[in-house]
Structure 1
Amino acid sequence: MNEPVDQEAARLRGELVGRQDGATLLYQAWVARRITRDGLRDLLPDAWTRADPSPEMVIGATSWVEMFREAGRLLLPTNYPALPDMLTIYRGAIHHRRRGMAWTTDCHKAAQFRRRREQTERTPAFLFRAEVALEAVLAAFNTRGEREIVVDPSFLKRIDRLD
C-alpha cells in the first residue's frame, strides 16, 4: 500500500485500521474534501475489504462507485496482471443481491460465497455469472486470495444463474 500523501489520509489510516465502519468515515472525509485523490486511492482498498456485513450495505453502491471512479481503477497487489478487455466474473449471492459490486474471476470462490450467504442469510443463495467490459471494473483485489473484481453495477447487463 502506498504511504498516505496528506495529513488527513494519515490520520484516517490510524482510525480506519481494523474498523468495520471505516467505509463511513472515509466517505464522510471524501465528501467533505478533507482528503486528496491520492489519499482516497490509498485508503479505499482497506475500507472496501473491511466493510461489514458487506461494503454496499454500509454506504450504498452509488457512494462506492463515486469514490472508486474518482480514485481511478485500483489493482492490488500492485503487480496484479493486466486485465483483459472482457472479463467473465462470478458471484455467490441471494437472488435480490445478484447485481452487486463484489465479484470474482474464480467460480469456486464464488461458490464458497454462495454457501456462506446461505448460512448467514438463512435463505437460498445462487451462483451467478456475468460478462463485463474493462470499463465496468473499478478495482481488482487479490489481497485475500479472492480474486475480487469490483464492478460498477450499472454495467451489468446480463447475469446468468448457474445453479
Structure 2
Amino acid sequence: MTNEQRKSDLAEILDGFAEQMRTITRLQQERAALTASATVRGKRVTVTVNADGTVIETKFGSGIEDLDYPEIAKAVTEAAQQAAAEAARRSREIMAPVSQNRERLPKLADLIPGMPDLSKELTIPEPPVVSTAPPKSRERLGGYQATEPNSDAAQPRRSGATDSGW
C-alpha cells in the first residue's frame, strides 16, 4: 500500500468519524426532546415522561372521583411505567443509527499496522440534560437549551400546592 493510499484512507476514516460525531449530537438532541404518554383506567389518568423516563406531567380526567386513593395511585404508577417503557423504546430507535454506523467504519489499526484502536479510546459525548418541563411549556415550545446539571437554570421551578397549575 502506498503512502498516498494510506493518507487517503486515513482522511476517509477521519471524515467518517467527524460525521459520526455530528450524527450523535443530532440524535442526542432529538432524544432530549422526546416525550411519551400513557393513559389508563378509561382515560382517567394520563402520565407523560421525558426521554429518561422522568414524569413531567400527570393529568386526571373526568370520572377520577370514581376511583379511591389506592386505585389512583396504582393507575398513576401503571401509566408512568407504560410511558417510560415507550420512551425507552423510542430512545433506542433514535440512537440505533449510532451503533450501526460504528460497526461499518474501518478501524485505524486495520489500515495502519501497529496503530492503536481509537474506537476503544474515544468516548461518546455526554447527551444534553433532558427537560422535566411539561409537554406544552414555554421551555419545550421555544426550543430546549441544555444547561449544566448543577446550575440554577437546570433546577425545575418548584411550585406549591396552591399553584394554579394543580
Q: Please give the range of the TM-score, normalised by the shorter of the 2 chains.
A: under 0.3
- Structure with the greater relative contact order (CA < 8 A, sep ≥ 6): 1 or 2? 2
Scaled by the length of structure 2, what TM-score is found?
Answer: 0.23
Q: Which has the higher helix share?
A: 2
Q: Which has the higher strand share?
A: 1
Q: Is the radius of gyration larger for structure 1 or structure 2?
A: 2
Scaled by the length of structure 1, what TM-score is found?
Answer: 0.23
